[in-house]
Every structure is written in C-alpha cells, then in structure tokens.
A and B are shown apart, each in its own frame.
Chain A
Amino acid sequence: MSRSAPALTAAQFTLTAASVFAAVLPHLARMSKMFALLIVMLLAWRVVQRLRGGARIPAFIKLPLVVLIPVLVIADYGNVFGREPGTALACAMLALKLVETETRRDARAAIAFASFVLMSALLFNSDLVFTLMLCAALSLLLATLYELEPRPGVAARPNWRKQVGAGLRAGAFALFAAVPLCLCVFVFLPRLGSPLWGAPTDDKSVRSGLGDEMDPTSLQELLVDDSAAFRVSFDGPVPERAQRYWRGPVLARFDGKVWTRSRFQADARRGDTVESIGEAVDYEVTLEPSDRRWLLALDVPLAAPENAVRSADMSLVSDKPVDQLLRYRARSALNYRLDVQLSARERERNLTLPPGFDPRTRALASQWRRDLADDEAIARAPLELFRKDFFYTLAPPDLGRDSVDDFLFETHRGFCQHFASAYTFLMRASGIPARVVTGYQGGYFNTLGNYLVVRQSDAHAWSEIWLSGRGWVRVDPTGAVSPQRVQLGAQAAAGASAQWFHSDWLVGLRNQFDLVNRGWNSLVVQFNELRQQSLLTPFGIAKAEYYDLIGVLIGTSTVLLALYSWWVLRRPREPGDALDAAYARLCRKLARSGAARAAHEGPRTYAHRVGAIADSPAPVQQLLDRYVSLRYAHALAPSAAVREFVAAVRNLRLPRGFAKVNVLGHTMTS
C-alpha cells in the first residue's frame, strides 16, 4: 500500500474498542480471575492511552506481551489447544490487537477477529437470552464497520453521537434484512455427522443420556431434552407412576463436587441378595441409542438381560455401548429387600466423605446424631428441612467449592441431583450408609400404542440408605420438596415451583419463558443431523442426504436473492399525483377499447380524436376535458374535484372494443 493510511478518529477508535470489549465480555466470567483482570486492564489502559492522544505503542512493549500471553494461558490451563484455553488465548490476542490498532486496516482486522471470538462464546453457553444478546452485539460490530467508512469532513464533525446512532441503525437494519437468508442457510446447511477434527474430550457426547458421574450441572441439559430415552411395554398392568423408578448407574464415590461410580463392581450373580416381596413385573424395554453402556430397568431388576451384567449395586451394564436401538426383556421386583447384610467393605465405602468439604453440613449431621433417637428419625430430618423452605427449579444458582453447604444453607434451590447429593451427604455424615442412584422417574403412558415412553427429561437422581434389618431403602428427597416431580415430571415440577411466588403474572411470565426456552432448546439447540434428514419427509424424501439439502439450500437462497434483487432494482414510482395516475388509468381503459393514445398526443388532441369516433360514449370526452381543465386551469387542482375525477375514471365502463372498427379509418386519415 503506497497510500498512507490515516489514523483512526476518536469515534472510530472508541467504537472499535467497544466491539472488542463486547466480544471479550461473554468470556470473562469463565476465565480465571487473574486472566480476566489482565485482559480488562489491557483494554482499559489502551483506551485511556489512545483517547488522551497517546502515541503508537512501540514494539518493545508489544512483543513481550505477545510472548507473555501464551505462557500465561499454558500456566493457567496447561495447554493452548482445546476450547477453554483456545478461547482464552483468542480473547487475549484480541485485546492485544486493540493495543496495536492505529489505522482503519487494523480496526477492520480487529472486528473480524472479534466476530470470531463472539461466536466462540456460544460454544460454552447456548442459552436463548445469551444467544440473542450476542446477536445484538453483532450490530455493534457492524456499526463499527459502518463508522470506519470514510466520510466527508470527518474532522469538522462536532458531535459523533448522532453518527454512531446511524451506524447502529444500519447494523440493526442489516441484521433484520439478513434474517430470511440466515434461517434458510441455518436450516438447510448439511450438518456434520461426525466432527472434522478430533472430538474434544471435554465435549459431551452428541447423543444425550445418563453419564457415570454426576456434578451439579450434569443433568441440567437432560432435563430439558424431550427426546425419548426408552419405551416400555408391560406384560401385565402398568405400575403406578410413583413406583416407576428406572434404575441406572449407582454412584457411591464423592469428591466434594462430583459423584462417580465405584470402579470395581462385583457381579451380582455370585450371591443374589435381592428378596422379592409380592409379585414381580415382566416387561420389554426398547432403548434408544445412547453410546453408553447403561441398561435401564425398574427398581430393582431381578436378573440381567442377555449380553449384560447385573452388578452388585443392582445396575445393569451392557457388554458394549448401546449405539443402536436395543430391545431387551427384564423382570423387576417393585417391593423388595436388598442387601440385608452389608459387608464391612461396602459399609465403609458408603460412609466415605471427602475430608475438608462442607463443614456446616457435617456439623448439622452430628447434631442430628446427638439429638435424634434412631436412624429412621435421622433419615426423616432432611426431608422435613427440604419441605420447609427449599424450592425445586431447573435453573438453580451456581454453587461454590462447598457445594452441599452452599445448597443447604445459602441457595435453597435446585433440582433432583442437588437434593439427592445433599441428602446422601447428610446421611453419610451422620453415620448411615448411603449412595446416589441415577436413572429415570415416571414416563408418559401412550394409551394408543399401549406403551410407556420415558424421555430424557425424566432423568432423575435419588438416594438409597441402608437401614439395619431393612437393607437398602429408596429415599427420594426431591419428592419431599416437590411431590409434583414424582407425580407429574421434572418440568411440571419446575413450573409448579413458581407457586411459591405470589403474583400470578409472574407465574405466567415464568411459565411462558420456560416454554420459550424449551422451544428454543428443542427447535434450535437440538436440531441435528438426524432431524435435518427428516426435514424433507413431507416432500417424499424420507432421509435427506447432504446433496438433497444442498439442492434445497441453493433453491431457496436463490429465491431469496431474487427477492432482495427485486427490492434493489425496482423502479422508483414515477413521481406523479393522483390526477395524473387517474389520467393514465383512463388512457389504459381507452387503449383496451382500441383507442390508444399516441405518444405525441396531448390530452386535447386525444379528446378531439376520441370524440370523433362515432360510438364514443359521452362521458369519455367529458372526462378528458375535465382532466385538461383540472390540470391546466389551476396551479394546484382542488382536491375535492380531483377525488371526483378519480372516482369517475374508476367507475367508467366502456363498451368493449367500441373504437376497434374505427381504428383503420383513423390510421388512414392520420
């Protein structure tokens, strides 16, 4: 570039800095405090330095920063690859880009980079509100690009607030105009069945399902996922909803944050410890592929299906991950006695708590141990506590290091896994062996198909405590705080939790917002390759391949582009008033009857010629004369007379082709 690049104006620089900040902001909360502080300080320093008219930042400051930042990322994350360290690095580099931004070219590069950083924030949080906010931030980026366009007399412009407003409007307009094209591409752009580059280890599986560990957020996504987990047809009558606990992985190890499954599980075939009371239930399960090894069965299964093992904690584990639809028969006891004798090792294992976590909960438990008479009273105590002032919600506040303490004494709100985790912790702390059981609860009975469908959103977690003489007893602490969870399901319970708020409109609002969020989740977040393939079913394509989709994409976007082009290329309406429009209409009517006005004919000559036609109806000539007088007798024709004329033209009915016979004669004379 031989042309010297002019430096950015204050407005341009401020907008660029605002865009960069908007792009970095969604990431800050996730980063370590030190790193976030570093980025914010770097940005703030640069903005102040530049707006005070500071000079270009010299290389001996920039270069060490360029080296320092990857080092800091590695120190923080141990790596520069992967989503977390990658985005941290990108944020810091973007801040550095602002440090060296002096010319329009720099600012444009910063904006392009900022849009990438902005997008990467969505890899961590796919919330509806969050997405909408980021989309709104795009208009800031576009406003910056708008501002970067040169303008006449930039230096002389006294007030740039108006200009920024114009930029924001232009950005918002561009985004709105882009919506149709955006949706078309979004829906029909073929999704990847498998990732192009290595599936990151911290990524959840593409298919949702129960995992073999439970942290305070692991079930959250499942609970809003309405896809089916499995379907069941019973040989006999369907058990009551309150009895339909589908047992999945049993989690007995706790490290203060995450519940995990004990690694070594004995095969339960060695010594059957289940004693069935009453009749067993027989049923057939059709399990959706989950890429995991869990098989679900009613609590508690009496035997393992084929190619699966029933481990000592009574969970069924398949020999290989379930990667396609799997059908198996199972038999369960709804009333049972399990492990009446508990081995010392099992007892020890189910009493272990991580040292140094949750002191207040421990204190509460030991107080109960002192105050209450027996194990059963202790087991009831937390349920009373939960019933009193705990709320069931699918969107609980974040918990700190002492997650159980925070939940029990601070936030008081959560869903099944919080309650199960806290309850199990309390039991262990007061000396009662306890463990967390995850699985599903309930299910919707389809009377038409006579089967029960259990959805991912029915995922649940509860506790089992061991009482001497009774063995493992199932306790569902969530049921204590929100019986609807057991009676109606997780989402109904979450909606019902709003009952504690007093105002009706708030309840309505919360319910509606929950509905919107669910719609967002099911329509957008979970739109995947499979659902895309079934998009074209109404058009007779059962499974849309990528070439079908690309064809549709090209077709629809062509139509859209044609619409855009029409908008751009349409001729502006000829400037003319109502009077001229009515005259044009009259001429068109006459033309249809065969007396078209020649291009050179003025209204008078035309009136004269039309009047000379033998069958010409009287009103035609009158109308033409009226037009002449309205148009030429006044500087501005009176509007009442114009309206009358317009109406008269509209109502004029001409005999079809009255002038046709005369056309020949006319052309001969002229």
Chain B
Amino acid sequence: MTLSGAVAPWWSRMLAVAERRLPALTRLKQPEPLPIRLHRHRIYVLPTRFGLMFSAVLFVMLMGALNYNNNPALLLTCLLGAACYQSVFQAFRCINAVQLASLQGEPCHAGETLHINLSFHADGRPRRSLRLRVADQETVFDIAAGDGRVRVGAPAGTRGWCRVGRIRLYSEYPFGLFQVWSWLNPDFAALVYPQIEIGAPPLPQADDAAAEVATKRTGDEFAMLRDYHPSDPRRSIAWKASARHDTLLVKEFEQRRGQDVAIDWTATSALVYEARISRLAAWVLAAEAAQLRYVLRLPDETVGPGLGPDHRHACLRALALLPGAAA
C-alpha cells in the first residue's frame, strides 16, 4: 500500500508529461463525437498475468520435452502453445470493429448513482465477454446479433452536466491469456438533477392546495391517456387500458383550480445557496406528487406553470444548471 501510494503521484506526473509530449497518445483522450468505432489503431494488446504464468508453464513443458527428446510431448506442447498464441487474434477480433452507437443517462439526483445505458453495434459475429470499466466499476456484456446494451452505474457528482470520463472497453476472450483494450471517451454528459432536501417544509400555499385536493379528489377530471415514462408514479398507470393496447399507458388528471403553486427562489432566502436549490427541487417533486400545477421562479428565469414529467424535467434542469455558488 505504501509503495503504491508512493508510486502513484510519480506515475501520474509521468503520464501528464507523456500526454503533453506525445499528441498521439492524447488524441484518444480527447472527447470524441459518437459513434466511436474501434479499429486497429486504437486497440491495444498485452498478455495478462495469467498469460505470463501460462507461458512460463509452457516453457517448462518445452524444456522437459526437449530434454527427454520426446517428440510427441513436444508436439503436444507446440500445439497448446500455438493454440494459446493464436488466441491473441481471436481476442483482437472480439473487440475489433465494435462501435459505440449511443449513450443515454437515466435521470438521477446529485449524490445518487448515475445509470448510463450504452448501446454497442458490431457487424455479424457475436462478441462475447466484453467488459466495460466505468469509474472503477466493471460490467460484463455480450454483443449478440449485432446489438449490445449495457447499463453501467457511476457515482453522480454534483448537480449539472456530469461527464462520464474515459471508458475502458476490454476483453480477455477467449482464454484469458491476453487482454485487448481500448479507450472510449465519448463526447457525452449526463444531466444530474440537484440534491433533494430531506424533510423539506411543505409547499407554500400547501394548506389551501391540500384541502382543495382532498375535497376535490372525486372531482378530478380524467383528461387523457398518454405513454408511460420511466419517471411516472406506478399508481397512475391505467392497467386495463395498458392491457388493451399492449403498451403502458398513464392516466392524466387535470386539476381544475384557479391558482398555481409558486415555487419561488426568493421564498428560500434564509438558506445557503445550494440548500436553496435543494429545497426548490424538493418542492418541485412535492408539487408533482400532489398533482398541483406549479411554476418555478428563479432569479433569471421562470419555468411554467405546468404539470407532468416534461414540466418537472424542465424545472429540475433549470435548477441543475443554475450557476455555482460563487457566481
């Protein structure tokens, strides 16, 4: 531990120098537009530790066969050695011409785990035992019949645009003797919503609104059916209608009320900057949960009024992209 601790800064300094001096190395570290196709100029191969160990065993076998002048044993050793050696080509074929077609971040709040769906394409033959390393987490996937989808999780940092950073795509297929790898640095950032304040005070005007909801519950007018979004609450799914249409549908209700809930930046002036954002985000969710139309008023913009996933996204996005505390 102490050794690696001592070496690590030295190593990263070396890497920094190398990246400055050798643009060819850094070329692949710049974000690239999608799709990213892997080809021989950016695929690297090295034997694994097991590969090195195995070649030592092969060497011992070779020496034994030669020493005893035993040709069948030598033949067997050569066969095994050659089979192991040619696996480097299979490993290369496994990763060659793989294409990263798209990335898609799932909605998430700061401090949670950011899930990213990656979609890969590869021509013709299936690719097995591909592995992705994103933010120190390893995920195994296959590309069968040309398409492969992977869902990886990475810790979401602070609110705003979150870059995934370099993704290592690698494989030790077929026998674990060689590792082929390549770096993917897609030009992609996922939006991370602000953190939500836990135990936030109730919505402003919540007293009136809640009473109104309670009394007008039966009067809620069923407005329309629409497609299900992953963020919809489960209880709003119209199960019968969904069964009829073979796709998930959601009931939308309309609140016939006179006034909108105002979620106002100025109403939270008692808190520090980031806590204000968290409070507003919590209110947005609360309003959404209570099915109340709401409007978000920020220093520079006003979002809404509205209700529903799109509006909620617009509000949370606006909150996420507020400038930092210093500004």
Residues of A within 8 A of B (CB): 83, 105, 108-109, 112-113, 115-116, 118-120, 122-123, 126, 130-131, 134-135, 138, 141-142, 145-146, 148-152, 170-171, 174-175, 177-179, 181-183, 185-186, 189, 191-192, 195-197, 200, 203, 206, 524-528, 564-565, 567-569, 572
Asked whether, in the complex, the Cβ of B79 is within 8 Å of the Cβ of A192, the reply is no
Asked whether any CB of chain A lies closer than 8 Å to the CB of B222, the reply is no
A-B contact pairs, 24 of them (CB 8 A): A108-B50, A115-B80, A116-B61, A119-B61, A119-B64, A120-B73, A122-B73, A149-B173, A150-B131, A151-B128, A151-B140, A152-B142, A177-B83, A178-B82, A178-B86, A182-B79, A182-B83, A186-B78, A189-B78, A192-B66, A196-B66, A525-B72, A569-B40, A572-B124
Residues of B within 8 A of A (CB): 40, 50, 53-54, 57-58, 60-61, 63-87, 89-90, 92-93, 96-97, 123-124, 128-129, 131, 140-142, 172-177
For B65, the chain A residues whose CB sits under 8 A away are 119, 122
Q: How many A-B contacts if CB must be within 8 Å?
A: 160
Asked whether, in the complex, the Cβ of A527 is within 8 Å of the Cβ of B176, the reply is no
Contact of B64 (CB < 8 Å), options: A113, A120, A203, A572: A120
Asked whether, in the complex, the Cβ of A150 is within 8 Å of the Cβ of B69, the reply is no
Closest to B85 in A: A181
Asked whether, in the complex, the Cβ of A186 is within 8 Å of the Cβ of B174, the reply is no
For B71, the chain A residues whose CB sits under 8 A away are 126, 186, 524-527
Cα distance A145–B50 when bound, in Å? Answer: 11
Asked whether, in the complex, the Cβ of A174 is within 8 Å of the Cβ of B76, the reply is no
Known: A138-B80, A149-B129, A182-B79. A115 touches B173 (CB 8 A): no
Asked whether, in the complex, the Cβ of A151 is within 8 Å of the Cβ of B129, the reply is yes
Shortest distance from the beta carbon of B137 to any chain A beta carbon, whole Å:
11
Shortest distance from the beta carbon of A201 to any chain B beta carbon, whole Å:
13
Cα distance A218–B113 when bound, in Å? Answer: 74
Closest to B76 in A: A119
For B70, the chain A residues whose CB sits under 8 A away are 122-123, 126
Asked whether, in the complex, the Cβ of B140 is within 8 Å of the Cβ of A138, the reply is no
Closest to A564 in B: B89
Cα distance A119–B64 when bound, in Å? Answer: 9
Closest to A144 in B: B175
Asked whether, in the complex, the Cβ of A568 is within 8 Å of the Cβ of B176, the reply is no
Known: A149-B174, A178-B79, A179-B79. A206 touches B86 (CB 8 A): no
Shortest distance from the beta carbon of A12 to any chain B beta carbon, whole Å:
12
Asked whether, in the complex, the Cβ of B75 is within 8 Å of the Cβ of A174, the reply is no
Asked whether, in the complex, the Cβ of B78 is within 8 Å of the Cβ of A182, the reply is yes
For B72, the chain A residues whose CB sits under 8 A away are 122, 126, 130-131, 524-525
For A175, the chain B residues whose CB sits under 8 A away are 79, 83
Shortest distance from the beta carbon of A563 to any chain B beta carbon, whole Å:
10
Cα distance A511–B66 when bound, in Å? Answer: 32
A sample of 10 more A-B contacts (CB under 8 A), given A175-B79, A567-B89, is A135-B79, A138-B79, A145-B174, A151-B140, A174-B84, A177-B83, A195-B67, A196-B63, A525-B72, A564-B89
Cα distance A525–B176 when bound, in Å? Answer: 33
Shortest distance from the beta carbon of B60 to any chain A beta carbon, whole Å:
7
Cα distance A461–B287 when bound, in Å? Answer: 106
For B80, the chain A residues whose CB sits under 8 A away are 115, 119, 138, 141
